Structure 1
């Protein structure tokens, strides 16, 4: 067997900006026997009617195979674009199908938007902390990330204005604000309703595009969905996803954008993937049209709520008083702040030895800060395993505090 050889290819400069995802890095670890994963943000698909969905998929191929296994429209199929307009009405968004671009997951939508708006060296403003996948996209496309401070009510408008002024005083160009206003990944916090139109107005006045990423907005424990930032300003680019309300495996997301932006995004998408999966689109459309998808989603939400409450109670019962954490009202995540002197990066291998895995906070900052933070996910493990996972984590923290 020949030994692996290094490539002689001459890489582009931007190749050095693509880095491994810390979340994907712990994925294999989370699959080890006996390991309790408080790391990945996987939806619980156990509520789905899998047998019925299997029948739908088989019927689509058997009866419409010449269509669903073929190339499709670059913008995505019209019935699905109309269906996601109905989904967005819950968030107060009044949209039409012609303003929608179907993508292969909302991650693709974010990459398209960033590619369209940002030149190398341009600044993207983002919450502190923010989604690790967004950081990878921005850095891979050579944009610079500047974080805006948040509190328990989300992005702070005064800090947004201060950051804009500070960055521009340095002679740098700000192209967009990227925000996850609902049950933020990773912090779990939600942007206060009163701040949403203010954030939109600040960015409009400054000539900065707002990119609103909303994969978790419908996963509200109190059945009180909030108005999207897009509902206050039609220039906002809105990213939606089927991953948390149906399935991440079908890789269906969408972008809602002003018509001229949407048209340019379609050109970029066609140059990348030609078209989104026609079979996946038909399956998603059938699910939204013919199934009680809100009923299945609400059953999942009830489980997420129970697990979030169990996680909160376990943290209160087992962790020292010097540890702080957020209390989200939806979504998948809790953000934990360690006592001074403890490092999440150093805790991780010790936690893995104890049989529990999490994601260190440094993954969620573009500048590598956040080592006193970690993200815990409650979306997939059972309540009992969540509590046991916290016990294991607590033993590691206690040992380090005593060292």
Structure 2
């Protein structure tokens, strides 16, 4: 029962499905395929310890005081350089620094949407976005994806149908590169079409790109932002390429949004941590960040291959598994009639956990799908996790009616 002091809007905040299986994943001997955590052991952090001591010693009145509402100039310049390494052009004035990209998404949602508005998302989509939109009291409409990402015709039809209902979407939220949770990438030839569809319909795009630099092989794919920087808000983060504990992210915003975004940020946290910002800036300006990120991405690629290859031997007939080319996740679709409820119980008994797909999907969908993360465990542990999943599959199959 809702407490009378709480608002109806508070009901929209959703629990994280990763947190829901957190307790099970922390039990001794359990292999977690649930959380998409970067592996901090893949790079030396000695430079960060040295930088921390030096910053506190030499620049305490700068990094331990309040800072700019936009973010430190040195970090904003470093972010432009980081984006350029992924062939994405941005100017320093467009960068709004935030305490992680989740905060950036929350701020963008606040300045673009009113309670009751409609937003478009991929199906499935990032569960953190669903939590943000639910907490803002928004109506979420999912748009179909396939192996090449968001389907333009499906987007066009969904916009047409909503227009017929008198509902103009306020924005499209998308994760084009190595999508969370599905692991797929929006095909290059679809990107201009997606931008054009939204431009013609008057719908701004929120391009969330936490995994873009974690490609297993070198590639050049146009960002949605560079196709139309006045229509696309770009979200980035240091969480996946450096350390999530720093809580440093950003938005590259169109000119018409920048002042509103700054004021929204100041009203939320006054300023993102200057101390964390200075550390993140040194990662770009003083470290070989390109080599560090490429090295980590290569390891994630080995782990993705290890998990997907091992799983192929155990999947029930009729299953499909995405083959990611970067990022942290793969997506498993079980045969018709299977559900993740029974499978999760069996998996926990076998000491392996995953995130059920329903958490990322429209209501009533995703019941036979699940997200598997490979970023944190070793190839050997992932292979063992696949074997444990195989035993869970066998237990569920044995319990199904003939």
Return the TM-score normalized by structure 1: 0.96
Question: Does structure 1 retain, via aligned residues, the 8 Å contact 2:316–2:335?
Answer: no
Aligned mate of 2:368, from 365, 368, 372: 372
Counterparts of 2:220 and 2:40, CA distance in 1: 22
Superimposed CA distance per residue, residues 351-388 of structure 1 (whole angstroms, 9 cap, x where no aligned partner): 11110000000110242520110000010101111111
Further displaced range: 294-303 or 159-168: 294-303
The question of 1:292 aligning with 2:282 is answered: no
Counterparts of 2:265 and 2:40, CA distance in 1: 29
Aligned mate of 2:378, from 354, 377, 382: 382
The question of 1:252 aligning with 2:248 is answered: yes
Question: Does structure 1 retain, via aligned residues, the 8 Å contact 2:123–2:362?
Answer: no
Counterparts of 2:120 and 2:332, CA distance in 1: 23
| Residue 129 (structure 1) shift | 0.4
The question of 1:341 aligning with 2:337 is answered: yes
Question: Does structure 2 retain, via aligned residues, the 8 Å contact 1:90–1:225?
Answer: no
Superimposed CA distance per residue, residues 323-343 of structure 1 (whole angstroms, 9 cap, x where no aligned partner): 211001000100000111211
Counterparts of 2:146 and 2:391, CA distance in 1: 29
Counterparts of 2:3 and 2:18, CA distance in 1: 30
Q: Which residue in the other structure is 2:204 paired with? A: 209
Equivalent position SS for 2:313: helix
Q: Where do 1:1-400 residues align within 5 Å? A: 10-235=5-230, 236-400=232-396
Superimposed CA distance per residue, residues 248-301 of structure 1 (whole angstroms, 9 cap, x where no aligned partner): 110000000112201101100100000000100000001110011121111111
Provide structure 2 residue ranges, at least 5 long, that are not aligned to the other structure. none
Counterparts of 1:260 and 1:248, CA distance in 2: 30
Further displaced range: 259-268 or 99-108: 259-268
Counterparts of 2:188 and 2:301, CA distance in 1: 21
CA 1:90 to 1:225, structure 2 compared with 1: closer, same or farther past 3 Å? farther
Question: Does structure 1 retain, via aligned residues, the 8 Å contact 2:183–2:327?
Answer: yes
Counterparts of 1:35 and 1:368, CA distance in 2: 29
Counterparts of 1:380 and 1:142, CA distance in 2: 34
Counterparts of 2:91 and 2:167, CA distance in 1: 36
| Residue 8 (structure 1) shift | 6.7
Question: Does structure 1 retain, via aligned residues, the 8 Å contact 2:87–2:220?
Answer: no
Question: Does structure 1 retain, via aligned residues, the 8 Å contact 2:43–2:296?
Answer: no
Counterparts of 2:64 and 2:190, CA distance in 1: 45
Equivalent position SS for 2:272: coil
Equivalent position SS for 1:19: coil
Question: Does structure 1 retain, via aligned residues, the 8 Å contact 2:332–2:370?
Answer: yes
Count of residues paired in the alignment: 398
Question: Does structure 2 retain, via aligned residues, the 8 Å contact 1:180–1:214?
Answer: yes
Counterparts of 1:52 and 1:126, CA distance in 2: 39
Superposition RMSD on alpha carbons, in Å? 1.4
| Residue 321 (structure 1) shift | 2.6
Counterparts of 2:44 and 2:256, CA distance in 1: 39
Question: Does structure 1 retain, via aligned residues, the 8 Å contact 2:346–2:396?
Answer: no
Counterparts of 2:46 and 2:153, CA distance in 1: 51
